[in-house]
Amino acid sequence: MSSQHRRGLGDERFYEALAKEASEVRVTHADFTAKLAQVIALLWRAFESRGVSWVGFYIPDSRAPIESLLLAAREPKPACSPIGLHGACGQAFLEEQIRLIEDVALLGAHYVACDPRDRSEIVVPIFRDGQCAGVLDIDSFELACFGQADVDGLAAILRNSGLLDRPLNVRSDCLPKT
């Protein structure tokens, strides 16, 4: 499946509705941890029946220099924690760019496999007080589940909830074209 054949989770209207809901999170939850939990609840409700197997936030450990990311809010189950910075989440955090991965097998040793059934992933950095504060990680059992509409929609949701304050570049790990 080439990048032009990504399925995607939703269209523009789907994401506009979620982004509007996310604005309420910004207004009603000043606490960072509560905000993360509310965004995960919003996303899981929306994505649970759309091919998503897991959604969660990873935040940096408290050591300097940062050596790993720790699991924060997540649905539906716990996942690996802590995770090193060598995987997709760590790289998205360090590079401050979105990672769109059509096939996690393409990452080889750089893939942190919390569930061996996962086939694709999208990772979006979040920001607090101008600094990268973690990443939103979404996994799917489906190959090439995520597309550009998801990149744009998730960025709007995070922006409206107060977790993203800048445009981000996208790094795509695509399947070979057939």
Averaged over 44-58, what is the pLDDT?
Answer: 93
What integer pLDDT is reported at residue 176 of this predicted model? Answer: 62
What integer pLDDT is reported at residue 172 of this predicted model? Answer: 86
**Domains in the chain, ordered, with CATH?**
3-173 (3.30.450.40)
127-174: pLDDT as tens digits: 988 899 999 999 999 999 999 999 999 999 999 999 999 889 998 877
Which pTM was predicted? 0.89
d(CA 114, CA 94): 20
What integer pLDDT is reported at residue 37 of this predicted model? Answer: 96
Higher pLDDT: 100 or 114? It is: 100
Helices marked H in 48-172: 88-95, 148-160
pLDDT band at 10 (very low <50, low <70, confident <90, very high): confident
> What are residue 137's DSSP bridge partners?
56, 123
- Are residues 113 and 53 in contact, defined by beta-carbon separation less than 8 angstroms? no
Averaged over 44-49, what is the pLDDT?
Answer: 92
Q: What angle is formed at CA 24 by the lines to CA 138 and CA 167, rounded to 5 degrees?
A: 55
Its sign, for the CA torsion 99, 101, 106, 110, is: positive
> CA nearest 101: which of 93, 111, 109, 86?
111
What integer pLDDT is reported at residue 2 of this predicted model? Answer: 41
CA 176 to chain centre: 23
